[in-house]
Amino acid sequence: MGYASSVHCSRQRFNISSLLRSALAALCLLSLWTNLRLINLTTSSASETAPTQPIAPNGLSSRDSLPRCEALMQNPSSPFANGAFLTSRANQVVWKMRHDGSRELTLPHTCRLKRYTAQQASRCLQNKHLLFIGDSLTRYQYLSLAYFLEHKHWPPRYPSSGYTPCTQFDMKGKEACSSFLEPNVCCEYDWDNWAHGQWPGFMQSLGGGTDGALFHGRMEAQSVRAKPPIERYQYVSSDENNDGRVRVSLLLEFGWVGSEPYYGWNLTGCANTGSCRYTPESYEKKVERNTNKDWDWEYPNVATAFQPGSSLHNEYLDDTNYVFYNRGLWGALQQDKAETIMNALRNMTRGTNNRCFFKSTTGCGRSVSNSLDSIEYNDVRKMTFDSGCEYFDIGHVTQEFGRFIVPDKSSMASSVAMEYRHVFWDSVHYVSVLYFISCTVVTTV
C-alpha cells in the first residue's frame, strides 16, 4: 500500500523543489499502502481539484490512457504537485474486482497509482522516518509497511488456515494463506493459540524473541499486553543495497474516553544495530514494571504527551519526516484534543520536507454507527488544516467497503467465521487488506 497525501497548501509556504520531493515520497507511500493488498489508496485534501478525465480514441475512458500519478506531480508549477488531489472527494474511487477475488483501488478518471517493489519503496523512503500514532488500525498499517521493507514482499493476503490446506490463491496461482508455522503479522488471531503464545508471544516475536525472530532483530518492542496495555515499536531497515535506511515508529493509544493517562518506556536503539531481543524473561520483567507503574514517562493524555518541551516531543523533534495520527476506532476525536495534538505534531515536524497528517477512520460499520466520517471530515479536518497539517482521507477511499461485507447479525460466531473466509475477513480492521493500502499511500506521498 502506498500513500498520497492531502495538503492544505494555502496555509503553508513551501519551497517548490522540497515540496515536490516530499509529495513524491508521499505518493510512494500511498501507492505502497494500496499495493499491499493490491488496493491503491489516496488521501483527501482541502482542495477538491481533480484532473480532467482522459478519453480514449473510442470515446471511452481507458485506464491505459491515464497518466501515472507521479507524472502529474513532476511539474513544480502543476496544481497537482503536492499530491493533494489523490484523496480529493472530487475524484471518483472504484474498487475494481480482480480475478482472484481481491479488489484494486483505482482512480478511473484521474491517474494510475504505481505498484512499488520493496527496493523501489526503500529508495523512495530512504533516510526517512515515519511515525504512526493511533489505534489498532494504525498498528497494522505500521506492521505491514515494516514487514514489506524487511521481507521484500507483503504479508499473505489471508490468515492461517491452521492444519487444513489453504483454499485461497493469488493471481499467479500461489497459495495466499499464512502458514500455521509462520503466523501473519497483520492477523492477530493467527497468534491466539498456545503454540504461538497469544499476545505475549506476538509481541516477543516482533521485538526479536531469542534469535531476532520476525524482523531479524531490527524491531524494538517496548510493549506488554497487560493492564494497562502499552505498545511502542521502532523498526529500522537494513542498508544492504546502499539505498539508505528507513525508520518506522509506532506509539499506540488505548481508551474509549480519549483522556486516559499515557505512559510507556524509552527506546534503547537496538533496532539500529539489528540487536533487538525480547525473551519470555524480559517480557515478564516488563509486566512487573508495568504492574508497579515503573514507566520512563507518563502524561495526562496522548495529546499532552507530544506538547513542545515533553520528552517524546523532544525525541522526535526535527527527526521525523512524516507523522500520522488516528484514534477513530476508540471513538470520535474531540475538537479541543484535535487542536492540541495536531498543533503539537506540526511543531514536531517543522520544516519544508516534513509533513503531518490526521488519518481518517476506515469505512467500517463502527464508523457508520458513530458518524465518524461526518465528524472527522467536518470538524477534525478543519482543526487539522488550521494547524498546518494535512487530512489523509482513508474514510473516503474505503467508504465502499461497507457494502462488501454484510455480517449475519443473528450470530456473532457465524459472522466471524464468514468474515474469516472473506478477503475482508475482519470488517472493522479489514485485515490484512487495509494495512497494505496505507503502505502504498505512504510510499506515494
pTM: 0.83
Residue 433 in contact with residue 157, Cβ under 8 Å? yes
Strand partners, 298: 263
Residue 25 in contact with residue 2, Cβ under 8 Å? no
**In whole angstroms, what is the distance from residue 428 CA to residue 182 CA?**
24
The three cell numbers of residue 341 are: 495534538
Burial class (CB in 10 A: 0-12, 13-18, 19+), 403: exposed
Per-residue pLDDT of the chain (445 residues; tens, 9 = 90+): 333 332 222 233 334 455 555 666 666 665 665 554 443 333 333 334 444 444 333 333 455 678 888 788 777 777 777 777 777 788 888 888 777 767 777 888 888 887 788 888 888 888 999 999 998 888 988 998 899 999 998 888 787 878 888 888 888 888 888 888 889 888 888 888 888 889 999 999 999 999 999 999 999 999 999 989 999 999 999 987 666 799 999 999 998 877 899 999 999 999 999 999 999 999 999 999 999 999 999 999 999 999 999 999 999 998 899 999 988 878 888 888 899 999 999 999 886 668 899 988 877 767 777 888 889 999 999 999 999 999 988 888 877 766 655 554 555 555 555 555 554 545 555 554 454 455 555 555 5
Instruction: Give the strand pairing for 247-252 and 129-134.
Output: parallel
